[in-house]
Amino acid sequence: MASAQGAEAAVSKQTIAELDKALMTAKEGSSEARQRLAIRRVIRDAEKLADSDANSPSRFLALEFLFRAYQQLIALDDDSAHRKALLDTARELIKAPDEFAGLRLEADLLLSQADLAKNGANAEARANALRPFIERYVDTPVGAKVLRLSMVMALELGDNRLVTDLQEMIEDRFASDVDMISFQRDKLGGQVFGAPFTGTFKRSDGKMLRFPMDGLGRSTMFIFWSGKDGEETLLKGLADAYLERKEELAGRLEIISFNLDQLPDAGESIIRGLGVDWQVLHFPDGRENPIYNAYVRSDPRTLTMNPTGYTALIMSGSTRKKANSDGEPDYGRMFHSTLARQWTQPRYVEQISSLLAGDFLVLDPDGGIDPTRPPELKALNSDRKPLVRTDASVPVETLSAIQDRFVPPPLRYRLTHTEARTSYSEAIALCRMAIADNPDAPDLWIVRNRLMVALLGLWKTDADLGKLEAAIAEAKTALAAGFPEGCDVIARFCLSREALRQPEADSRAIINAMVADSTGDSVSGQALAAAALLSLEVADRKRFEDYRAMIIKDHTETPMMWTFSSFLLDRYHSYWLFQVPFTAGWSYGRRENYYTNLGEAEEARRMLNTELQAVDGKTLRIPEDLDSEYTMIYFANPAPWSNERDDGLPPSPERTIKKLMDFAAARPDGDVKILLASFGEDPAAMHAELLASRSNLDCPVYSIPGGITNPLVHRLGILSEDNSFNSVLIKKDGRILSVVSGLVGKSDSTLAKVVTSQDEEFVNTALEKGENEKAKEYIMAIAPPFDPEAVDEKGRKLKKPEISLPHLRARANVYLALGEIDLALADAEEVVQRQIGTDGGMSLRTDELDESEALRDRILQKQEEAKR
């Protein structure tokens, strides 16, 4: 221990500071010879120090100093011995642990560049060498610096694929870093990218707002303006258009003013003079504020943030507005366009707002409330004892009346802004009355939890900061009164929001503490869900993804987590959660369609256990009665249906059911079964209408007991059964492979794509086990090779069928395993070319193309080896 302490004292920051001072003095010598001599003396001192501290991590401080000192010596005397010493020092320095990553970074880069130069590396080799370098540093304290450095190098090398990968790393780890946002805007000219709008600002009344927290749950339009000539026209135009549409905008789009002139009232008198009630925020230092350079750059500027905190930064910097017939800016049309976007649709913003308020924390999929086992208790371990009710307990009818004010999904997401506000307001009034009437009730915490959630709901619904402050005050009172272990998540959720609003808050430490403090015997899914939402509110995407992974791994089977976990797994939300709120150009719609309809099975291992009622009155038990490898259940409203728009009837599922049944019919051994499930009580009428359709479909039809109130709706996250179709694909054992909630647009083929991807996975697994013949038999039954000479019964040549890309890849791998290289190459090349066409239509490069090209290149390599 003594020697360790001595070693620790040998090299310290103070020691290095003294060496740096000596090095500076050495450079002041009267001649180069004297300077060289003095630098060598300092180097010898540092070498002795490093040697004496050989067993302590602090020696890397000395090595880093030596690295810099040798560089200065070489600048004066480019001797080969000095260069060798520099490289030797660098090789020792790169052994430093990650806590000293900043010390080793330059040495690592030097060695890498030296090796590349020695081997005569071209641009491609240099770009490839950057990837392991980035991996070594991206999660260290110098990760942001390395990504910036690597981005500059990748741009210089012209490696667009690496540039794209670096952008994804930045989005995952440093999306809210203002310096990183400015860096990307400087370097990525001509592009559009998304970044969360972050910052803490003082409102005109002195209260502090934090973004994205205070803007989440609805879209926000920030207006950056000054008193320059002409800008009053912009403000008046926006204000007039806002007032005309105020009712339509309520709860969907909020407008916030930032004045750049640093006026004492932040420009509030000017804004109020226009007759609008926008929140008015101070913008310290005006155009010198780093946030101005990151997000604004020219003014006047309107910047839109979507309900999950992201804004589109358009490199062109255009501020043009749509004009009316007189050539004047048409601000009403601009609002109309904004309200047509996905991120301002009423159901979308209501769902995000409801989740952020924490509605799901007090809702039971079974409906109502069991006073002995409220949702907070049911969310914990199943062996938790029920609450014991006494005469002092809150009356059951009181608890039920409060609970009834919390509308369960999906009906909650269909409430109008006014209805949502009324629901929360009534809940608050009932809770306050219950607290006043039952001050000593042992289960009063149940009421307080609902009071906090209702207050949070109004904070989100009306952007009313006072309601958040009231929820925080209630949380402090509730914690002081006490909770059963693990049932205090909502209160700690509120207090964490208070802590996170401080400008210098350590967000990760605060969120970690919330999870730890809310934990009883084990970490509950509700605590992790609250932590995920807090991470979203401070724009920490990586931490959000970490909590998402924890929930999906261990907490999707708890009924109290169904609402939140189905949100995390929903294809539509997965796409839009961190998406750039920008849709100009034809490629953006194609991108959404592509990514929301990929054939990947969901990563969660969720099981479906439910019962459906058949036409003949028999019960279909899932999974016990499933008799096919895959079952697709398509959910629809009761007949009669219609294919006409706006006729008041639900849409007919005929076309989609026919496509799915045709797909199932083409499968080998009948391994796919199609079922139609009704939210009504008369499956016979639905079955009769299918039989009477032009397609004469004989598809099994079932009803869902209880319809939209069945817990199955929460389990699967069914959101839009009233105006679009929802579906689920399950395996024979009941595992849920994929759910299409109905938010996705045309998704008829999604479930079929998941099945074909499962085919590819089956083939690849068989090949990995060496079961080549099994893999061959399977894929050839699904995707048999085409004979170009084949003819139909009239002797006409048959058209080559289009095989799905997963099947082509699987077949190529089978051919490769069997040594049929030419056939494997033909399939792989077709996959690449078709994927190139798809990617080109979206103006981006997908991971699927990378994987397909890797397969083709592997086959080409085998072909070359066979020729040798």
Q: Cβ neighbours of residue 214 under 8 Å, at least 6 residues apart?
A: 463, 465
Rounded mean pLDDT of 92-103? Answer: 90
* pLDDT over 90, % of the chain: 64
Rounded mean pLDDT of 169-187? Answer: 92
Q: Of 812, 813, 804, nearest to 663 (Cα)?
A: 804
User: Residue 7 above 60 pLDDT?
Assistant: no
Q: Which amino acid is at 87?
A: L
Query: Do both 394 and 509 map to the same domain?
Result: yes
Compute how many other C-beta atoms are within 10 angstroms of the C-beta atom of residue 429: 14
Mean pLDDT (the chain, rounded): 90
Q: Is residue 749 part of a domain?
A: no
Query: Do both 554 and 421 map to the same domain?
Result: yes
646-704: pLDDT as tens digits: 677 777 888 888 999 999 999 988 899 999 998 887 788 888 888 877 778 888 999 99
> Does residue 136 sit in helix, strand or coil?
helix
Query: Do both 250 and 174 map to the same domain?
Result: no
Q: Of 343, 353, 295, nearest to 176 (Cα)?
A: 295
What's the CA gap between 710 and 718, in Å, rounded? 11
Compute how many other C-beta atoms are within 10 angstroms of the C-beta atom of residue 212: 24
Query: Do both 177 and 283 map to the same domain?
Result: no
106-154: pLDDT as tens digits: 999 998 888 888 888 888 888 888 999 999 999 999 999 999 999 999 9
For residue 84, the domain's CATH number is 1.25.40
> Does residue 613 sit in helix, strand or coil?
strand
What's the CA gap between 138 and 149, in Å, rounded? 11
Domain boundary among the residues 692, 710, 743 is at 743
DSSP bridge partners of 208? 202
| Residue that wins the pLDDT comparison between 802 and 327 | 802
- pLDDT band at residue 70 under the 50/70/90 scheme: confident
For residue 723, the domain's CATH number is 3.40.30.10
Residue found under tokens 């699927």: 848
- pLDDT band at residue 328 under the 50/70/90 scheme: low
Q: Is residue 603 part of a domain?
A: no
User: Residue 226 above 70 pLDDT?
Assistant: yes
- pLDDT band at residue 745 under the 50/70/90 scheme: low
Domain boundary among the residues 189, 204, 238 is at 189
Rounded mean pLDDT of 508-521? Answer: 86
Q: Is residue 139 part of a domain?
A: yes
Domain boundary among the residues 714, 743, 772 is at 743
Contact 312, 201 (CB under 8 A): no
Q: Is residue 115 part of a domain?
A: yes
- pLDDT band at residue 18 under the 50/70/90 scheme: confident
Q: Is residue 750 part of a domain?
A: no
Token pair recorded at residue 135: 């991996």
User: Residue 217 above 70 pLDDT?
Assistant: yes
Give the pLDDT of residue 532. Answer: 98
791-840: pLDDT as tens digits: 878 888 888 888 999 999 999 999 999 999 999 999 999 999 999 999 99
Q: Of 346, 506, 323, nearest to 414 (Cα)?
A: 346
- pLDDT band at residue 6 under the 50/70/90 scheme: very low
DSSP bridge partners of 832? none
Q: Is residue 642 part of a domain?
A: yes
Q: Is residue 699 part of a domain?
A: yes
What's the CA gap between 448 and 471, in Å, rounded? 9
Query: Do both 148 and 65 map to the same domain?
Result: yes
Q: Is residue 418 part of a domain?
A: yes
Rounded mean pLDDT of 633-656? Answer: 80
Rounded mean pLDDT of 344-363? Answer: 96
Q: b/e string for 838-849 if b means 16 or more Cβ within 10 A?
A: ebeebeebbebb
Rounded mean pLDDT of 93-98? Answer: 90
Phi, psi of 208 (to 5 degrees): -100, 140
Query: Do both 652 and 713 map to the same domain?
Result: yes
Query: Do both 183 and 267 map to the same domain?
Result: no
What's the CA gap between 581 and 196, in Å, rounded? 11
Query: Do both 567 and 654 map to the same domain?
Result: no
Compute how many other C-beta atoms are within 10 angstroms of the C-beta atom of residue 339: 16
DSSP bridge partners of 344? none
User: Residue 347 above 90 pLDDT?
Assistant: yes
Query: Do both 47 and 136 map to the same domain?
Result: yes
Query: Do both 690 and 718 map to the same domain?
Result: yes
Query: Do both 170 and 212 map to the same domain?
Result: no
Give the pLDDT of residue 333. Answer: 86
Distance from CA of residue 334 to its chain's centroid? 28
Number of folded domains in the chain?
5
- pLDDT band at residue 314 under the 50/70/90 scheme: confident
- pLDDT band at residue 331 under the 50/70/90 scheme: confident
Give the pairing of strands 736-740 and 726-731: antiparallel
Give the pLDDT of residue 444. Answer: 98
Rounded mean pLDDT of 711-717? Answer: 95
pTM of the model as a whole: 0.90
Q: Cβ neighbours of residue 515 under 8 Å, at least 6 residues apart?
A: 523, 527, 528, 531
Rounded mean pLDDT of 230-239? Answer: 85
Name the residue range of residue 143's domain.
2-189
Query: Do both 137 and 223 map to the same domain?
Result: no
Rounded mean pLDDT of 589-615? Answer: 92
User: Residue 565 above 70 pLDDT?
Assistant: yes
